[in-house]
Amino acid sequence: MKTLLLTCLLICSYATTFAQKPKTGTYTYAIAFAEWDGKSLGASCTVIIKGDSIRVFRTGTGDVTTKEAELIDSGLIMKHKSGKWIIGHTPKDKYAKEIGGCSDGPSEINFKKKIFWLC
């Protein structure tokens, strides 16, 4: 009985963890600024996903210093050791000490809330 319960919990956990990653496509996300407690200030970006690859472009809305259609970040979609989704550039990024916001680590992206984090 314990084995069955443990198996069910693992399957549910696996499904919940990986259900968050979107399918291949183009999406609009809000940009959240870590230095402003996650406020977007009206900024948004276009997120293009193709398999495990991801590219994030500035859309031209909101108060961001990048130019419209400028590439903000690109890389591979990875699950960080913290359980958060990141845009990684090397396999080591999964174990980075810091992620997102104003850190030197890989960018954080929240697929469920459609938020890309910047400094």
User: Which percentage of the chain shows pLDDT scores above 70?
Assistant: 76
State the Cα–Cα distance between residues 116 and 46, nearest whole angstrom. Answer: 10
- What is the average pLDDT across 41-58? 94
pLDDT score recorded for residue 87 = 98
Classified as helix, coil or strand, 15 is helix
Residue 106, class by beta-carbon neighbours within 10 Å (0-12 exposed, 13-18 middle, 19+ buried)?
buried
User: What phi-psi label fits residue 62: left (phi over 0), alpha (psi between -120 and 50 degrees) or beta?
Assistant: left
Rounded mean pLDDT of 110-119? 94
CB 96 within 8 A of CB 102: no
